[in-house]
A = this chain, B = another copy of it.
């Protein structure tokens, strides 16, 4: 039977180095380096493997050491405030045991535990590599909601971008989305490479049967990458659409100002003429002066309106 337990006493772990049955040792919390070093000694970890586990800042990778297959994975998680956190999961696949280390427990592995408890499928009998596959596959499946949420966000922003809804919030949201896509893609790329290497390289710890399963996982992470690339492309496009829309808006605004100005500035000038106080201005004396001037102004204004309609600035149902 496979034992799942959160080791309290580090020394007790020695029992699991060469257990009679496959053992999964799941370590939470990497705060106490001394404990980790002791675990490393017990399981005979390579110093570099141990360093990668302790450091917890590295990129995803699969590295073969004499006594272990190391797999570093990263899981993207939305944080409050819209940033993305990418905690690390370190797996060390031995011949009879699987050592998994994480800073804090990811809820996402509960289904695996469930299947272990219930003994569903080959998971209990298939050795540490299959168990590692189950964990990595579960982890990769958690990339989907992140990329889908970012894609959904882009679709929500579309309406606002096309109509150039005023307010810098649109810009902020577009940029935040872009920044998160950048993080997601930076994390997903090495993850894909790591899974691919695991799925294609001969390793004494990962049999050909499990590699078939890992190829499927590779398909998933590759699809995540494709979705993220598409989202990135749309994000770039969206900003351009927004800028185009702003340009269009500016056009509309300037059109209005120009129309108002073009109609009334000349008219005001005419009114100014007859507001001058020269002694000799014969028009002012004429009884038809005032109505003739008003008529002239009306004609001038109507002419301008006609001109703008001709240029398609108003009416015809297309504007705005």
Chain A contact residues, CB within 8 Å of chain B: 46, 48, 51-52, 58-59, 61, 63, 65, 158, 162-168, 171-172, 174-175, 178-179, 182-183, 186, 189-190, 212-213, 215-216, 219-220, 222-223, 226-227, 229-230, 233-234, 237-258, 260-262, 264-269, 271-281, 283-285, 287, 289-290, 293-294, 312, 318-320
Given contacts A243-B244, A275-B275, A280-B290, 10 further A-B contacts (CB under 8 A): A61-B219, A178-B237, A179-B237, A183-B230, A250-B254, A251-B253, A253-B255, A264-B265, A267-B272, A268-B272
CA distance A272 to B215 in the complex (A): 82
Is there contact, CB below 8 Å, between A276 and B277? yes
Is there contact, CB below 8 Å, between A223 and B264? no
Q: Contacts A59-B222, A226-B59, A261-B257: A244 and B280 contacting too (C-beta < 8 A)?
A: no
Is there contact, CB below 8 Å, between A271 and B275? yes
- Kindly list chain B residues whose C-beta atoms are within 8 Å of the C-beta of A165: 318
Name the residue of chain B whose CB is nearest to the CB of A281.
B290
Is there contact, CB below 8 Å, between B241 and A240? no
CA distance A252 to B249 in the complex (A): 10
Name the residue of chain B whose CB is nearest to the CB of A216.
B48
Copies of this protein, total: 5
Min distance, Cβ A293 to any Cβ of chain B, angstroms: 7
- Kindly list chain B residues whose C-beta atoms are within 8 Å of the C-beta of A284: 276-279
Min distance, Cβ A49 to any Cβ of chain B, angstroms: 9
Q: What are 7 A-B residue pairs whose CB atoms fall within 8 Å in the complex?
A: A179-B237, A247-B250, A253-B254, A253-B258, A274-B276, A278-B284, A281-B290
- Kindly list chain B residues whose C-beta atoms are within 8 Å of the C-beta of A253: 251, 254-255, 258
Name the residue of chain B whose CB is nearest to the CB of A245.
B171
- Kindly list chain B residues whose C-beta atoms are within 8 Å of the C-beta of A167: 318-320
Min distance, Cβ A134 to any Cβ of chain B, angstroms: 13
Is there contact, CB below 8 Å, between A257 and B258? yes
- Kindly list chain B residues whose C-beta atoms are within 8 Å of the C-beta of A186: 226-227, 229-230
Min distance, Cβ A245 to any Cβ of chain B, angstroms: 6
Min distance, Cβ A223 to any Cβ of chain B, angstroms: 5
Is there contact, CB below 8 Å, between A280 and B287? yes
Q: Contacts A166-B312, A247-B246, A254-B258: A271 and B265 contacting too (C-beta < 8 A)?
A: no
The one of B52, B158, B277 in contact with A281, judged by C-beta atoms closer than 8 angstroms, is B277
Is there contact, CB below 8 Å, between A279 and B269? no
Is there contact, CB below 8 Å, between A264 and B274? no
Report the 8 A-B pairs with minimum CB-CB distance, sorted nearest first.
A271-B272, A274-B276, A246-B247, A257-B258, A278-B290, A275-B275, A268-B269, A264-B265
